[in-house]
Amino acid sequence: MQRITTDKIQDFEIKHEEIVRKGAPESMVLLKNEGVLPLKDCHRVALYGSGARNTIKGGTGSGDVNVRHFVTVEEGFNEKRPKIPVF
């Protein structure tokens, strides 16, 4: 494993991001939407579990992943729906 010691984005990081961006859509599971989404007339939302705010980005122990930045479930939700209070 290579430790990142500079703010400069490394070549291997660029290559890895390209691989992930290609593989992610191939790994998605689409669910049938029966008129529930997008949420209409939604005034508040509850995100349950510690993973909403303390999202585990890749595992724990030997599965831990070092990243420059990642978005938690709560941050992602607030970015897309900033007017709906999350509790």
- Cα–Cα dist 59/85, whole Å: 29
* 8 lies in some domain: no
* 29 lies in some domain: no
- Domain encompassing residue 68: 37-87
Measured CA angle at 56 (ends 30, 52), to 5 deg: 70
pTM: 0.51
E-strand stretches of the chain = none
Task: Give the pLDDT of residue 1.
Answer: 53
* 58 lies in some domain: yes
* 65 lies in some domain: yes
CB atoms within 10 A of CB 84: 13
Rounded to an integer, the average pLDDT of 27-44 is 82
pLDDT in tens, 37-66: 877 777 778 888 888 888 877 766 776 677
Task: Give the pLDDT of residue 35.
Answer: 86
- Cα–Cα dist 55/72, whole Å: 5
Number of domain units in the chain: 1
* 68 lies in some domain: yes
